[in-house]
Structure formats: C-alpha cells, structure tokens
Amino acid sequence: MGYRKFKADRLFDGYRFREGEVLVTDDGGRVADLVPAGDAGDNIEQYNGILSPGFINCHCHLELSHMKGLIPEGTGLVPFVGQVMAGRSKPEDEILAAIDAAENEMYDNGIVAVGDICNTAYTIDCKKGQRLRYYNFIEVSGFDPALAEMRFETAKELSARFEFAANGQQPMPWSIVPHSPYSVSGPLWEKIIHNAGSKLLSIHNQEDPAENEFFEKKEGAFMGLYEKMKLDIHFFSASGKSSLRTYLTRLPASQPLILVHNVFTSAEDLLYVEQLTASPSIYWCLCPRANRYISTVLPDVPLLMQQGRRIVFGTDSLASNHRLDIVSEISLVREFYPAIADSDLLTWATSNGAAALQLQDEFGSFEKGKKPGVVLVDEHFTGANRLL
C-alpha cells in the first residue's frame, strides 16, 4: 500500500493548528499519522494555504437546488416560505439535474458529509452514488391538528424509501424531524417525539422575529400566512414565551438536536436551554449566507460563543444561497466578527459538525484510522480545493 504526505503553511487537525507537521494518509485517504516534518522523509506534497479535514454541512435542502436564483434576496422569511411552497413543482428531469450539479459543487468545495432535509425522494438516486455521506432528515409539517396522522404516515413512507435505498451499501441514516415550531401541531409533535427515541432531530429555530412574536402574542406576519393558507388556528394560544422556550419542553432533556439558524435567539433563551436540557446534546447551526439572503440579519455568534454553545455550519439551500460552500459561510462570519479565531471557525466546520451528525468515527479530524477527506483552504478563506 502506498502513502501520501501533505504539508502546507498551516495544518488544522479538526481541533487545533499543528505547527510544522505533515499529514500522512494511505492512497485511499485514511489517516496514518501526523508527524514532525523532520521525520516525514521524502516525497512530501507542499501546498500554500491551510490543510483541513473535509467540511461538514449540517443543514442543506438539496432537493431545492432547482430553485437557485428564483427567489429575490431580502424578502423576509414569511414571503420566502410562500415562494418556496409555490416553486417546488418543476419537471423531474430539471430537479434531478440540479440536485446532481449541487452535489458536485459541494464535493468540489471540500464538503464530505451533509445533514440534508428531505420532503421528497428526489435526492435518493444521487445519494446512492455515495460521493458524500448523508444524514437524511425526513421533514414533516402540518399546523392543523387534523392532518397529523396523514402527514406523519407520509413521512414514514418516505423514510422507508431512504432506508431501503442503501441496498446493502453504506446505510443512509435518517430521522423524521419537525420543520419548525410554527408549522407543527401538538399531535404531530407527539408522533415525532414518540417515533424519534434517541435519534437525532433537527429543526429550524428562531429564523425570523415573527416566529417569537407568534408564540409570545399570537400576532405578526405568520398570522397573515395562515390566513392566506385559509388555515383556522383558533386552537392555538400564545404561550407568552419565545418560540424556543415554548416548544423545547416537548423534547426529552437528552434528545440529540440540531437547532438551525438561531438568528433571534436571546441570552434568556440560551440560559433556559442550559437549565432545561442536557445541553451537550444540542448543536447550534449557523447558515449566515442564507440569513443574509432572506432577511439581511446575522445571528449573534459571539453570544453563542460566550454561552459555550457547540456551533456548526450549514449552507441551507440554493433557494436561499448563491453557493453550497462552507468556506463561504466561514468567510462571512470572519467579515462581521473578525475577533473569532480561525481555529474556532474550522472546528465548527469539521469536528463539531461530524459530532453533530454522529459521524465522528469517520469524519471531522485527522485522527489515525479516520477517512475525513483532505481540503486545502486559501489562507484568506476565499475558497477551498479538495485534495482527497
């Protein structure tokens, strides 16, 4: 078996920068060792930039890739949701071609694993190729309690299609997950939680101020959305609390959970989470490019850091982003929060992301025996190239 040796200006191992060391892998990309440059011998591949493990995209909607450029920027969340609902229907060949192109883009940009939101089976054939590792979040929604049984059964049928699609290959892990607090009824929540057991869940959280306003006062933009949908929500009563503080009590304290977006999460919300849950089971996913695209606002990343939250990155979909590129997400956070260390940002994009998707045994760090991918990142985070 042959080996490859990689050295760059800086080497990030998934947790920290390693000075003057060389990454050694076998020809298939499995990590053999990290050794001092003086002990590495000959035939070292030398690069300019940062060597990093492959990136983990913890939140994506691959099935919406055909909607790239269709929705204008700056609409706000509620109009955006309406346009996504209206724009899902396209010819199947167009949808499938866009999915393949989007996966190629992620691959080329150094992404090795994806937490992908699935409302349809369109992505199954692409995922069978196993170029990337996926955790499939089978998303279910329905704010009308009368629809809970039907919606959940539909999600179960879709999850079975993903489960059986592996056909003896690498399993396709999946969970049935809630779309958002404002789109899941009480009876549907009960079905999701009963089915989940200890499985990983993911939910869109506090992406827009209207979400908190709806739960606190039963007012705001979501009232107009339900009216437009002709949905009678007489059954719903405001809790007087934020969205997060309203729904989190439904979940077991130890439920593995990825909270996505967190743009309008407050310090009080974070304290509540710490008191209520086994907080190490919760990861906080940033999708800053999508937040800028939809509402021009970014989450308070330093607040999340001050509270010691475990942060990860996602790209969201091409309906709300110009590219599926974790380095692009990092660069935006660096631009607005320049005090955040590169080592923190890369940790969120690698080892934290792998742990969030429960893929840490294979991905996220240059530890012996893992096959995490090898990515070369431009020193200024303007781009990345996959080396393995």
pLDDT per position as a tens digit, 311-329: 999 999 999 999 999 999 9
The pLDDT, as a whole number, for residue 167 is 66
pLDDT at 276: 86
- Residue 156 CA neighbour count, 13 Å, CB half: 12
* Bridge partner list, 206: none
Q: Do the strands 111-118 and 201-205 form a parallel or antiparallel pair, or are they unpaired?
A: unpaired
Q: Rounded to whole angstroms, what are the CA distances from 364 to 19, 169, 218, 353?
A: 19, 22, 42, 7
Residue 169's pLDDT is what?
72
Residue 265 backbone dihedrals phi, psi, to 5 degrees: -90, 130
Task: Report pLDDT for 370.
Answer: 99
- Asked if residue 353 has pLDDT above 90, the reply is yes
What is the overall mean pLDDT for the chain? 96
CB atoms within 10 A of CB 277: 18
The pLDDT assigned to 170 comes to: 76
pLDDT of 108 reads 98
Mind giving me the DSSP string for 300-319?
-HHHHHHTT-EEEE----TT
What is the pLDDT at residue 278?
Answer: 65
pLDDT tens digits, residue range 78-118? 999 989 988 888 899 999 999 999 999 999 999 999 999 99
pLDDT tens digits, 267-295 = 999 999 988 876 678 999 999 999 999 99
CA distance 162 to 328: 30
Distance CA 370, CA 366 (A): 7
Over residues 208-226, the mean pLDDT reads 97
Distance of alpha carbon 128 from its chain centroid, rounded? 20
Residues 6+ apart with CB under 8 A from 82: 225, 228
Q: How confident is the model at residue 308 (pLDDT cuts 50, 70, 90)?
A: confident
Query: pLDDT, tens digit, for every residue of 18-70?
Result: 999 999 999 999 999 999 999 999 999 999 999 999 999 999 999 999 999 99
What is the rounded CA–CA span in Å between residue 89 and residue 85?
A: 9
Tokens of 229: 């949908």
pTM of the model: 0.97
- Please give the Cα distance from 180 to 203 (Å, whole number): 6
Rounded to whole angstroms, how far apart are CA atoms 73 and 240? 31
Q: Which band of pLDDT confidence, cut at 50, 70 and 90, is reported for residue 240? A: very high
**CA angle 176–190–185, rounded 5-degree value:** 90
241-273: per-residue pLDDT in tens? 999 999 999 999 899 999 999 999 999 999 999
Q: pLDDT tens for residues 165-192? A: 876 677 789 999 999 999 999 999 999 9
Alpha-carbon span 82 to 79, nearest angstrom? 5
Cβ 212 vs Cβ 264: under 8 Å: yes
Which residue ranges form the domains of the chain, and what is each CATH number? 1-53+365-388 (2.30.40.10), 55-363 (3.20.20.140)
- Over residues 106-150, the pLDDT tens digits come to 999 999 999 999 999 999 999 999 999 999 999 999 999 999 999
CB 322 within 8 A of CB 289: yes
